[in-house]
Amino acid sequence: MKRKLLSLMLVGTMAASMVACGGASSTDNASGEGADGAATAAVQSDDENTLTVYAWDENFNIPALQAAEKDYQEVNPDFHLEIITQSQSSDVESAVTLAAEAGDYSTLPDIVLFQDHYIQQYVTNYPDAWQDVDDADCDWDGLGAEKLSYSTVNGKHYGFPVDAGTAIFAYRTDLLEEAGYTMDDVTGITWDEFDKIGVDVYNKTGKYLLCMDGDGNDLFYMMLQAEGASQFKDGEPYFTENEKLVEIFNVVVKLAQDNVLYLANDWSDYTDQAIQGDMVAGVYNGNWIIPTIEQVKDNAGKWEITTAPTLTGAEGYASNGGSSLYITANCKKTDLAKDFLAYTFGGRSAEDGQSITYDEALTNGGVIGTCAAAAESDVYQQGVEFFNDQPIYADIVEYTQHVPTVEQSDYHYSAREQLATALQDVLTNGEDVEAALANAEQQLRFEMELD
């Protein structure tokens, strides 16, 4: 019962977390009712060629779904996708939770869009709410192993990825040059080398080489994943005995103390003041941060992206955020749903090197997919003027194929919160690192009811 109650509690958490993933929208759903997330539109269609889907964000996910509908109509002209727009991702979480608690899945559409970091909990808690897609006709190997690790439960595939949360490290090349460095100097380096470069950049330009929201601090997760490690081990918090996490924590402390890392007070400070307010020379986050960077038109042509530093100096690959599509228990046209999803987001239409789904999702919504074959299209291969004509979209898909698969947890965001608090305790209150991490681990274990 506790885990089911937790699902309800997570609804509020999700509303906040989606701000950091480009997923919230204030639009109403298809019924024309208020934007409180209660979908009153018909969740099923009697038409044999029509599927219904819950999704959020008219500027991001919705254009991707519209592109997929157009793509699939190339092979099934009678097909129609009825998109029932939700205000935010937590509305979908709530719909599944309420249906499961009531034991009545007839209130769900054929397909739902779900955040990656939460789906395993919902498949575990409500296994009867979903249909697996293990036998779908698509090349799973071409969609990125790390991305699929979220939607694979007990060895079975359940979802099709929409957007890659693959992380990028973006740098202002003009500011690097002012400090005497190039993109080559910040690619394939250790975090210690990064710190030294960052000190030079700050001393010569007054800009930080890295920034992060101090409250929603995703640095620990990304830096650790780039090392092929996790914050969890066998389902439990793995902080104090995790040598890599301890080392990374100390790196972050040093970066902040050396004026290399700017820790913003909140999300608005991070996006509006740090990134758009010309305070930084570098940004490390999921690629969904790109539109935020692009808001400063005067910096067009001054940014480029690369991989992240690591403890060893190997090029670092990580991911942060993203969603996938899942078929619900209420879907009666399962074969149609599987074929539609496999052809579009599963990448089957990209086998000839071009996919309407991937190309138009990118051009119309800024959605960067995970399919390796789709990245061969002209749309993905073209240079992006804002990023000095670098073909960043193809590069990001290439990064996606190298992101290590690490252990995930239902308590991902709770771990993020505890580690962010521990960092502030060290930087602001002078607490010992070992003690701060021990307290963070203890607090997380208490929340998970492990002690």
For the segment 371-415, what is each residue's pLDDT rounded down to a tens digit?
Answer: 988 888 999 999 999 999 999 999 999 999 999 999 998 899 899
267 C-beta neighbours (distance < 10 Å), count:
15
Candidate CATH numbers 3.40.50.1480, 3.40.225.10, 3.40.190.10, 3.10.105.10; the one for domain 2-165+321-376: 3.40.190.10
For the segment 327-346, what is each residue's pLDDT rounded down to a tens digit?
Answer: 999 999 999 999 999 999 99
Low-confidence ranges of the chain (pLDDT < 70): 1-41, 352-353
Q: What is the pLDDT of residue 121?
A: 86
Q: Are 287 and 166 in contact, with CB atoms under 8 Å apart? A: yes
Topology of domain 167-318+406-447, CATH: D-Maltodextrin-Binding Protein; domain 2 (3.40.190)
Question: Which is it for strands 152-153 and 236-237: parallel, antiparallel or unpaired?
Answer: unpaired
> What letters, b where the CB count within 10 A reaches 16 and e where it falls short, cover 287-305?
bbbbebbbeeeebeebbbb
- Counted residue by residue, the chain has a size of 451
Q: What is the pLDDT of residue 98?
A: 97
190 C-beta neighbours (distance < 10 Å), count:
15
Q: What is the pLDDT of residue 97?
A: 97
Specify the domain boundaries for CATH 3.40.190.10 within the chain. 2-165+321-376, 167-318+406-447
Q: What is the pLDDT of residue 352?
A: 67
167 C-beta neighbours (distance < 10 Å), count:
30
380 C-beta neighbours (distance < 10 Å), count:
26
151 C-beta neighbours (distance < 10 Å), count:
24
